């Protein structure tokens, strides 16, 4: 069981906005940056959001991240079919000295 908690699935129709939550604790999300990764089927993960809300070059502005206290969220606006993928949050945990991943959220475009 992952220490960072994500919903297992989320869905929406093309053009809709989908939000994925990531819940942690004071030793991880509460005191460190949150990162988000997108994993398309059969491929390696790709960095989507760094340092809570920063988009790397090449990531569409449809993707946005936020953090408040011990929780974070990823929002996908203007949902597109190519957004169908697994999404993972991650944060370093100061107590465990481990990098923690959420269990992953599978996004389906209906």
Partner 1 sequence: EVQLLESGGGLVQPGGSLRLSCAASGFTFSSYAMSWVRQAPGKGLEWVSVIHGNGGTTYYTDSVKGRFTISRDNSKNTLYLRLNSLTAEDTAVYYCAKEQRGIDYWGQGTLVTVSS
The correct pick among 13, 68, 81, 97 for binding partner 1 (CB under 8 A) is: 97
Task: Please choose, out of 11-19, 49-57, 61-69, 70-78, the segment that lies near partner 1 by the rule CB under 8 A.
Answer: 49-57
Task: State both tokens at 105.
Answer: 């959220």
Q: Does 99 bind partner 1 (CB under 8 A)?
A: yes
Displacement of CA 57 from its chain's centroid (Å)? 17
Which residue from 110, 109, 99 is spatially nearest to 37, judged by alpha carbons? 99
CA separation for the pair 14, 33 (Å, rounded): 30
Among 25, 35, 76, 79, binds partner 1 (CB under 8 A): 35
Residue 64 in contact with partner 1, rule: CB under 8 A:
no
> Minimum distance between the CB of residue 10 and partner 1, rounded to whole angstroms?
15
Assigned token pair, 73:
């969220």
What SS3 state is found at 29?
Answer: coil
The continuous run of DSSP H or E covering 7 comes out as none
| Binder among 5, 27, 50, 66 for partner 1 (CB under 8 A) | 50
Which part of the chain contacts partner 1 (CB under 8 A), choosing from 10-18, 29-37, 65-73, 77-85? 29-37
């Amino acid at each position: 069981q992952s220490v960072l908690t994500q919903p297992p699935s989320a869905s929406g129709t093309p053009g809709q906005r989908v939000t994925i939550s990531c819940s942690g604790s004071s030793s991880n999300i509460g005191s460190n940056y949150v990162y988000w990764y997108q994993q398309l089927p059969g491929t390696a993960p790709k960095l989507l959001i760094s340092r809570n809300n920063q988009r790397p070059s090449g990531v569409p502005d449809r993707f946005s991240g936020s953090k408040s206290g011990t929780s974070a969220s990823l929002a996908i606006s203007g949902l597109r079919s190519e957004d169908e993928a697994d999404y993972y949050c991650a944060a370093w945990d100061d107590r465990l000295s481990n990098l923690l991943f959420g269990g992953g959220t599978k996004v389906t475009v209906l």
